[in-house]
């Protein structure tokens, strides 16, 4: 309607009405999708694997389209899918449990401006093993992730983010306590 208003003989007032409808419905439905996602995600007090599966499904099937609406300029669009960022892979099942309160820290590692593409994540693990107190059998091992590096490209620059050591309590082991956020 907006592109062909002159050709179809649609008045300026009617055209404004359609533009307002488009703007309002885009805002309302986008907010509905985001609020529904946030409510459901916060209700997932479960395994990391389940949370990532839910997030992957929502991004690939809902948010990929919602993000396009705000860019809609009534003409052809070049849409870059974020599908490669949200693929969970086929690695071993994660058994570690933690709550949705830990998600903001994880999200901050893997997501920056929407025009960037995740290239990779790397880091060094430090493991320390020491004997238990005299009289107790066995030993204790601690693990820490050091110098995490998240690489992005796209937009106007590329490079590494977070190259210096950070949060010694970031624990990726499936046998140890839940993730601790800074």
Residue 44 sits in a domain whose CATH number is 1.20.190.10
The answer to whether position 91 is within a domain reads: no
Name the domain count of the chain: 2
Q: Is the pLDDT of residue 177 over 80?
A: no
Token pair for 74:
């009534």
CB 145 within 8 A of CB 170: yes
- Same domain for 4 and 48, yes or no, is yes
pLDDT for residue 119? 62
Lowest mean pLDDT among 10-19, 46-55, 69-78, 121-130: 69-78
Strand 116-131, strand 159-161: pairing: unpaired
The pLDDT score that the predictor gives to residue 158 is 37
Residue 44 structural domain: 1-86
- The more confidently predicted of residues 11 and 80 is 11
Judge if 159 and 82 occupy the same domain. no
DSSP E strands in the chain: the ranges are 116-131, 139-154, 159-161
Arithmetic mean of pLDDT, 142-157: 61
Q: For the chain, what is the mean pLDDT?
A: 62
Same domain, 151 and 117: yes
pLDDT of residue 57: 75
pLDDT at 40: 78
125 vs 145: CA distance, rounded Å: 5
The answer to whether 15 and 5 are in contact (CB under 8 A) is yes
Last residue of a domain, one of 39, 62, 86: 86
Span 4-30, mean pLDDT? 82
The per-residue pLDDT for 78 is 41
Among candidate residues 51, 66, 86, the one where a domain is terminated: 86
Residue 121 has what pLDDT?
65
Rounded distance, CA 8 to CA 174, Å? 63
- pLDDT tens by residue, 62-94: 776 666 665 555 444 344 444 444 444 444 444
One domain, residues 37 and 80 = yes
Final residue of a structural domain among 86, 116, 137: 86
Does the residue 171 lie in any domain?
yes
């Amino acid at each position: 309607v907006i592109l062909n208003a002159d050709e179809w003989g649609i008045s300026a007032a009617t055209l404004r009405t359609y533009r307002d409808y488009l703007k309002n419905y885009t805002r309302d439905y986008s907010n509905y999708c985001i609020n529904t996602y946030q409510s459901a995600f916060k209700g997932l007090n479960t395994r990391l694997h389940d949370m990532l599966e839910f997030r992957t499904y929502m991004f690939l099937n809902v948010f990929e389209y919602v993000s396009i609406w705000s860019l809609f300029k009534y003409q052809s669009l070049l849409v870059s899918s974020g599908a490669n960022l949200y693929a969970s892979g086929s690695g071993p099942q994660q058994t570690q449990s933690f709550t949705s309160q830990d998600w903001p820290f994880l999200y901050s590692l893997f997501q920056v401006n929407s025009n960037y593409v995740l290239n990779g994540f790397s880091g060094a693990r430090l493991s320390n093993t020491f004997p238990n107190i005299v009289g107790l059998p066995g030993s204790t091992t601690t693990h820490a992730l050091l110098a995490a590096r998240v690489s992005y490209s796209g937009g106007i620059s590329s490079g590494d983010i977070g190259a210096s050591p950070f949060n010694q309590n970031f624990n990726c082991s499936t046998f140890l306590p839940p993730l601790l956020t800074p």
